[in-house]
Amino acid sequence: MQYDVLVIGGGVGGGSVALNLASRGFKVAIVEERDWGGTTINRGSTPKRALLASAETHFRMTQLVKDVAPLSWSEMASHSAKVVLAANQRYGNNLVNAGITTIEGHATFVNSNTILVHGQRYQAKTIVLATGARPRKLEFPGSQYMEHSASFLKASNLPDKITIVGAGIIAFALASIATEAGTKVTIVQHNRMALRIFDQGLVQTLISRLENAGVVFKFDNTIQNITELSSGSYQVTTNQDQFETKAIYCVAGRVPNTEDLNLSVAGVKFGPLGIKVDERLKTSNPQIFALGDCCDAPVPKLSNYAIYQGKYLGNNLQKPVQFPIKYPTPALTVFSIPKLGQVGISTQKAADKPELEVKTMDIKNWQTYARNGDDLAKLKIIFNKGNQQIVGAEVLSQDADQLVDYLSLLIQQHVSADDLQQQLFAYPSQASDLYGIWQSR
């Protein structure tokens, strides 16, 4: 069967490019071997945010009133499952309604323009690889007892004592959700670094908040073995400690899905970081492109980047001249309690730029944060000393995700203090609080 474009991978990145091309009249087919919507919708951001919604609501209530009823994990899980199912169905329907051919199964290359799925051959002049990534496996005695974040996010019941291996974005989100649900959490990290790309002062404040909530951090601990006990619990032995837990979730990174595709027959080169692409997301085969977690583009492996790359390819494929991808102001958030957000230039990078100034602001008394009892709210804003434009920020607060999105617009549009004063926002709101960024200087 012949198509204009074949997309391998039915996640949010693959769907982004497929829907964009279909809207432009291209004949498109998309292949998915597991769940439509990929990791993001089924085993990642969507269930994580659904569970976090319950946990955040509970946390906010405890900040404002006494004697808040405990959370029910079964009710949280039921709500999350409904959200995921609806998102999955909506995603699949969007593909079908756009006239895209959906193919279920594992794809392998036959040659540079032909793939094989369940014995059926499909051809296209252009192929886009969006196969995503999978959890990294750690190997040591008893490592088979470890589960991954997907198991946590889909659990109908959560043990009262769990261990999380890793100290990155996913670890802090899972720890926050579980702690608010009444579970005792231990985080094991092989070195002393947590959330390494974020402002370490804000990270330490977040760690202290979680420690006060009962989370135990074991830094500089490398797991040596895990033993299953007769009680059904597990004994974890590290290079420094030994303790019992009832479940272990490994979130120590992900590896790109590049094996079993037979990429070599298509002339596609790949390495440990994924499929090799240039600044146009083109692989070593000029008719094959790659995006998202499966490629080695030098950007964070996050859903928003995969979606943006999909839009870029959808707008540029088949054009006689393809311009290099240009990423907008980066914005990302750790969905912990409270959240940790970053936009534009980080405080770490700003420290090496004499033309920039970092201003730390205690914003807990700003209206948005005061009325929500957000007593840890803090903002670090990076200004250009010359024109006073904002070029970056890092924030710790319950609403950090919203604030970094507002700031992203200001940075992207090069808004100055005078420009902002010409805007009229609803009051009181988080947007109207933005006036305080300059008034506090």
Rounded CA-CA distance 398/378 in Å is: 10
**This prediction's pTM:** 0.95
* Residue 92: alpha-carbon gap to chain centroid: 21
Q: Where is average pLDDT lowest: 30-39, 74-83, 128-137, 415-424?
A: 415-424
Rounded CA-CA distance 280/282 in Å is: 5
pLDDT at 397 (0 to 100): 97
Between 320 and 253, whose confidence is greater?
253
pLDDT at 373 over 70: yes
pLDDT more than 90, % of the chain: 88
Tell the residue number behind the tokens 């100034």, with chain if given.
357
Q: What is the pLDDT of residues 181-207, one digit of tens each?
A: 999 999 999 999 999 999 999 999 999
Mark the binding-site residues for NAD(+), compressed into ranges: 253
Between 424 and 127, whose confidence is greater?
127
Q: How far apart are the first and last CA of the chain?
A: 63
Rounded CA-CA distance 283/106 in Å is: 21
Q: State the pLDDT confidence band at 8, using cuts at 50, 70 and 90.
A: very high
pLDDT at 441 (0 to 100): 53
Q: Where are the beta strands (DSSP E) in 9-130?
A: 28-32, 101-104, 108-111, 114-117, 120-129
Q: What is the pLDDT of residues 109-126, one digit of tens each?
A: 999 999 999 999 999 999
The b/e string for 265-290 (b: 16+ C-beta within 10 A; e otherwise) is: ebebebeeebbbbeeebbbebeebbb
Rounded CA-CA distance 231/326 in Å is: 55
* Residue 195: alpha-carbon gap to chain centroid: 13
Please give the average per-residue pLDDT across 26-48, as a whole number: 97
Q: What is the pLDDT of residues 132-143, one digit of tens each?
A: 999 999 999 999
Closest CA to 197 of 330, 297, 328, 342: 342
Mark the binding-site residues for FAD, compressed into ranges: 293
348: its two tokens = 């770490």
pLDDT at 439 (0 to 100): 64
pLDDT at 318 over 80: no
Rounded CA-CA distance 385/407 in Å is: 18
Mark the binding-site residues, compressed into ranges: 253, 293
Q: The dihedral of CA 265, 266, 268, 274: what is its sign?
A: negative
- 63: helix, coil or strand? helix
Cβ–Cβ under 8 Å, residues 336 and 173? yes
> Domains in the chain, ordered, with CATH?
2-134+254-316 (3.50.50.60), 143-250 (3.50.50.60), 331-439 (3.30.390.30)
Q: State the pLDDT confidence band at 440, using cuts at 50, 70 and 90.
A: low
pLDDT at 319 (0 to 100): 81
> What pairing do the DSSP bridges indicate for beta strands 270-271 and 274-275?
antiparallel
Rounded CA-CA distance 322/319 in Å is: 6
pLDDT at 243 (0 to 100): 98
Percentage helix, strand, coil, to 5, in the chain? 35, 25, 40
Check residue 266 and report its DSSP letter.
G
The type of residue at 210 is L
